[in-house]
Amino acid sequence: MKITSAEFVMSNSDVAKCPKNKLPEYAFIGRSNVGKSSLINMLMQRKSLAKTSGRPGKTQLINHFLINKNWYLVDLPGYGYARVSKSSKKTFQKFITNYFEKRQQLVLGFVLIDCRHEPQPIDLEFMEWMGQSQIPFSIIFTKADKLKPNALTRNLEVYTQKMLETWEEMPLYFVTSASNGDGRDELLGYINQINSDLTAS
């Protein structure tokens, strides 16, 4: 897929105020500081489409970006740790679940995981919730360039084994690096294929 246009449309915390048209949406979510904004900028080949920050918890709204005028990339707040008050944290955790449960235009969620770390309970719990709620998702492992190939392979095997303790099969996953562009073609190709299938049906 060639990205010909990527434009910011809106930010809000109310699912009811999301765009009203029926274009397919792909939501990106992960723990704070997983490299989500950097990944989005790499996919779109824009330096600052999504705002990157050294401070975890920067994204606190549902952000819609219209891509190629025919699908939305949705940048969601990180779940878990963020430097915000308890009441504020509760609010945006609630609208994350509202978005996934109520947004009919949502086609797929991408759950971002930092490939350098062992499986984290909060990620596993979030994916379990997605599964129980019957929300389709794929995994994107980020920061692959930070590991040597053998260590990366080992970490992915460990993650797969952990997932298979509770899942019948490992969800589809992509291995990416925002700094060298790894995984970009595969990920955009996958979205493109789904969009084509949706149009055909």
The alpha carbon of residue 153 and the mean position of all alpha carbons in its chain are separated, in whole angstroms, by 22
Confidence of residue 59 (pLDDT cuts 50, 70, 90): low
Q: In angstroms, what CA-CA distances link 106 with 15, 25, 26, 130? A: 11, 5, 6, 13
Question: Residue 158: which of 127, 111, 118, 114 has the closest Cα?
Answer: 118
How large is the average pLDDT for residues 94-113?
92
Where do the domains of the chain lie? 6-200
pLDDT of 91 above 50: no
**Is a pLDDT exceeding 80 seen at residue 57?**
no
Partners of 11 in beta bridges: 63
How many residues in the chain? 201
pLDDT of residue 94: 74
Range in 75-84, 115-124, 140-149 with the lowest mean pLDDT: 75-84
Tens digit of pLDDT for each residue in 155-168?
A: 999 999 999 999 99
The two structure tokens encoding residue 191 = 């979205």
- C-alpha closest to that of 107 among 23, 4, 12: 23
d(CA 47, CA 31): 22
CA distance 46 to 10: 17
Angle at 63 between CA 60 and CA 67, to 5 degrees: 155
Residues 65, 75 contacting (CB under 8 angstroms): yes
Answer whether residue 60 shows pLDDT above 80. no
36 and 30 Cβ atoms separated by less than 8 Å: yes
Summary count for the chain: helices (H), strands (E)? 5, 7
Superfamily covering domain 6-200: P-loop containing nucleotide triphosphate hydrolases (3.40.50.300)
Element (DSSP H or E) covering residue 11: strand 6-12
**Which of 32-36, 90-94, 131-135 comes out lowest in average pLDDT?**
90-94
pLDDT at 44: 94
CA distance 42 to 195: 20
Predicted local confidence at residue 92, as pLDDT: 47
Which pLDDT value is given to residue 201?
Answer: 77
* pLDDT in the model for residue 85: 54
Tokens of 27: 């939501």
Model's pTM, two decimal places?
0.90
| Alpha-carbon gap, residue 13 to 85, rounded angstroms | 16
